[in-house]
Amino acid sequence: MNAPLPVEVLKQHLIDPEICIRCNTCEETCPVDAITHDSNNYVVDPEICNGCMACVPPCPTGSIDNWRLVVRAEAYSVQDQFGWEELPQEKSLPLDAAGADDAAQQVAADPQAEPATPPATLVTPGAAVPPWSAAHPYVNLYTHKTPITATVVGNYRVTGADTESDIHHIVLDFGEQPFPVLEGQSIGILPPGVDAMGRPHHARQYSLASPRDGERAGYNNLSLTVKRVTQDHGGEAAHGVCSNYLCDLAKNDTVQVIGPFGHTFLMPNHPKANLIMICTGTGSAPMRAMTERSRRLIGTADIGKLMLFFGARTERELPYFGPLMKLPRDFIDINLALSREPGQPKRYVQDLIRERAAQVRGLLTDRNTCIYVCGLKGMEVGVLDALREVVVQSGEDWSILHEALRREGRLHFETY
């Protein structure tokens, strides 16, 4: 009598719905379109995922790095995963499961280990590692199940009152509770109430606009830059649940916070490190944090050059315009790209990068330089094109430099 065929085991890739902040990074990164989402969860299609790991390093929370051994024929479907509120328990496998031992070893392999670096051709244009000298970030100290309560100690508008862009600077204080952060990290805000399906709202992610030692140096507080969302990407009227909640907060209100998140978009920590910062609108939040960190180090550390490219519709819609313009010119080289300033030609950040080619090239070829790009998704291609042109003009090979920038954690993108 023939022996029954052994059952095939799959090391199934899953996303932890309790930690995921629905930032869409994994879906954008996946080179084979195995990741999708509905209004509840981000999920991985077991029929498509090839375990390439490209999505793992960019995930700011680590929720992406979950695996279960399952009998292949019983893999959790996309529909199963859409309905989850938490990951299922491990199931025991049949004794005759083929490859179970090998797969188990892979799943058990040091869960705290750094995520594997995916093949270069599969990843986004930015680095999957932080700059070598970045300080150690803490992540996921507070989760959906264990959020921390912060108190609003400031909330004011940082754009002209007569403009469409209602952008707020919001300061949250954590009192005696530990909440260690670094510039470039983000937090999640849990808006109160429930969605159309009656489920609690998911967390929304915001970058810190303040440096590691607080919005006010020495205080256990941080700031966010939040634009009130009144339209969707297509220009149709839409009410942003979390942005409106945040912009309407009053002093002494409390907010549920999770995080911190992010382990790569971090600033270098060594002397003479240069920063090229390229942003649009509220994407200026991490640039403000890094600039303020550097400013506070003046006189105590050997800081390098800071070059900022900042895009906004008009001067009055550019958050923090007043304080920014007061910074000394020998501390930061500021380049404003205004796209709708009456009487002026439309300019984008990439136009200014081209105009300042000699200075940008000089910094790019210095191994102490790190580049940060944050803001609208659409700027990514334009900025990369401009950087490439700047390098190619001087007879250098962009692909070699680009690869080095990524490998050395010197080129970072955070775009939405």
Binding-site residues for NADP(+), in ranges, read 207, 227, 282, 339-340, 346, 375-376, 414
Told to check if 84 binds ligand NAP by CB under 6 A, we report no
Told to check if 168 binds ligand NAP by CB under 6 A, we report no
Q: How near is the Cβ of 406 to ligand NAP at its closest, in Å? A: 20
Determine the Cα–Cα distance for residues 44 and 290; give it in Å rounded to an integer: 35
For 80-127, the DSSP string reads HHHT-SSPPPP-PPPTT-BTHHHHHHHHHS-TTSPPPPPPGGGS-SS-
Q: How near is the Cβ of 383 to ligand NAP at its closest, in Å? A: 7
Determine the Cα–Cα distance for residues 381 and 387; give it in Å rounded to an integer: 10
Give the residue among 268, 334, 280 at the shortest CA–CA distance from 307: 334
Told to check if 353 binds ligand NAP by CB under 6 A, we report no
Told to check if 320 binds ligand NAP by CB under 6 A, we report no
Determine the Cα–Cα distance for residues 209 and 222; give it in Å rounded to an integer: 7
- Which helix (H) or strand (E) segment holds residue 403: the answer is helix 398-407
Told to check if 312 binds ligand NAP by CB under 6 A, we report yes
Sheet holding 411-415, edge to edge: 332-338, 306-312, 274-280, 369-375, 411-415
Q: Which amino acid is at 212?
A: R
Q: Which of 42, 76, 206, 265 is the binder for ligand NAP (CB under 6 A)?
A: 206
Determine the Cα–Cα distance for residues 293 and 282; give it in Å rounded to an integer: 18
Residue 149 DSSP code:
E
Told to check if 25 binds ligand NAP by CB under 6 A, we report no
Told to check if 119 binds ligand NAP by CB under 6 A, we report no
Residues 362-381 that bind ligand NAP (CB under 6 A): 374-376, 378-379
Nearer to ligand NAP, 180 or 382 (CB): 382
Q: Which residue is nearest to ligand NAP (CB)?
A: 281
Nearer to ligand NAP, 68 or 228 (CB): 228
Determine the Cα–Cα distance for residues 282 and 317; give it in Å rounded to an integer: 10
Site track for ligand NAP across 146-165, x = CB under 6 A: -------------------x
Judged by CB under 6 A, the stretch of 152-160, 193-201, 296-304, 305-313 that binds ligand NAP is: 305-313
Q: How near is the Cβ of 350 to ligand NAP at its closest, in Å? A: 6
**Three-class DSSP category at 336:** strand
Nearer to ligand NAP, 133 or 339 (CB): 339
Judged by CB under 6 A, the stretch of 54-62, 70-78, 224-232, 269-277 that binds ligand NAP is: 224-232
The site for ligand NAP, by CB under 6 A, has a size of 26
Residues 237-296 that bind ligand NAP (CB under 6 A): 280-283, 285
Determine the Cα–Cα distance for residues 21 and 336; give it in Å rounded to an integer: 32
Nearer to ligand NAP, 10 or 349 (CB): 349
Q: Which of 226, 275, 278, 336 is the binder for ligand NAP (CB under 6 A)?
A: 226
Number of neighbours of residue 191 by Cβ within 10 angstroms: 20
- The answer for 179, left when phi > 0, alpha when psi is -120 to 50, beta otherwise, is beta
Using CB under 6 A as the criterion, which residues of the chain lie in contact with ligand NAP when the complex forms? Answer: 165, 206-207, 225-227, 280-283, 285, 311-313, 339-340, 348-349, 374-376, 378-379, 382, 414, 416
